[in-house]
Homo-oligomer: A and B are copies of this chain.
Amino acid sequence: MKFGKIKHMVIFCLKHDKDSPEEKKFLQDGESLLKQIPGVNNFEVLKQTSSKNDYDFGFSMEFNDEQAYEIYSKHPSHVSFVEQRWLKEVESFLEIDFKNI
């Protein structure tokens, strides 16, 4: 990752059954909605496979700077995804942000 960029990740569990259509739909909708937001780069939907934490999935993305991150956070598509889907379908989550040292 280039200096100055921010890698934003969230690891999470869903309320849906494992391998259910609802699980798949949440991941697909999240990806298609969030990666369209201006300033979002390298969006990835990931499976969390370590047995040393309790989370099942991850969304990962990069921003060029703090301003792009703020635009994302306040963007109507993000706000609406959080309100309409995230708060209803996510069981637990942890947010992580990385910068280069």
What residues of chain A have their CB less than 8 Å away from a CB belonging to chain B?
Answer: 1, 6-8, 11, 27, 44-50, 52-53, 55, 57-58, 60, 94-101
Contacts and interface: CB of A to CB of B under 8 A. Distances in A.
Contact of A46 (B58, B60, B100): B100
Q: How many copies does the complex hold?
A: 2
Interface of A is mostly: strand
A45 B96 contact: no
Residue with the highest number of chain B CB atoms closer than 10 Å, among A53, A100, A101: A101
B50 A99 contact: no
A46 B99 CA distance: 6
Contacts of A52: 94-95
A57 B27 CA distance: 28
